[in-house]
Amino acid sequence: MARGGQNVPVTSPVPFRVIFVCTGNICRSPMAEVVFRDLAEKQGLGSRIVSRSAGTGDWHLGERADERTIESLSRRGYDGSLHRARQFTFASFAENDLVVALDRTHERILREWARDEDEEGKVTLLMAFDPNASTHDVPDPYYAGAEMFDSVLGMIETATRGLFRQLEPALRQPRTPRL
């Protein structure tokens, strides 16, 4: 079956596409993108997911992740050095299977941007995947020190593991290509 000018077998596994969204795409969402990708790779499912991130604003387009984000990730064994900030667009709904907001403000914005129920149905809150969370929001560490970045990364790791556990059974099943 042809897709995008290529012959793709119907049984070809199609990766599940997740995008994590925060404000400027330099602190929280890059952390979640990297952690989720790392989880999938460690479970042998790296080829079955595409993990991305974006911001609701355009302030940092093309910039690297905040240096404190890169350092915090590095302290825990992750590599965030290749990240470049991008903005969430209307096309991002079609390009992703799941849209994960890092706090309720982002969730509200994304739901407002959704053009129909299908797009709105893709939006979820990351902290919903941590049953022991005392908050619905991952706090923005931008105006804080390195300790806050480490704390935020810990929250993201816990919630992202919960998200991954929910998706893992489906990731292990073959998906049919999108036409």
Cα–Cα distance measured from residue 125 to residue 34, given in angstroms and rounded to the nearest whole number: 17
Tokens at residue 6, please? Answer: 């290529």
- Element housing 19 (H / E): strand 16-22
Q: Which of 22, 38, 86, 130 is catalytic?
A: 22
Cα–Cα distance measured from residue 112 to residue 90, given in angstroms and rounded to the nearest whole number: 11
User: CA of 16: how far to CAs of 24, 73, 158, 162, in Å?
Assistant: 24, 24, 20, 16
Cα–Cα distance measured from residue 50 to residue 18, given in angstroms and rounded to the nearest whole number: 6
For residues 123 and 34, is the Cβ–Cβ distance under 8 A?
no
Q: Is 140 a catalytic residue?
A: yes
Cα–Cα distance measured from residue 95 to residue 179, given in angstroms and rounded to the nearest whole number: 13
Q: Is 64 a catalytic residue?
A: no
DSSP label at residue 76 = T
Q: Is 37 a catalytic residue?
A: no
For residues 32 and 100, is the Cβ–Cβ distance under 8 A?
yes
Q: Which of 27, 28, 86, 103 is catalytic?
A: 28
Q: Which of 17, 76, 111, 140 is catalytic?
A: 140
Active centre residues (catalytic): 22, 28, 140
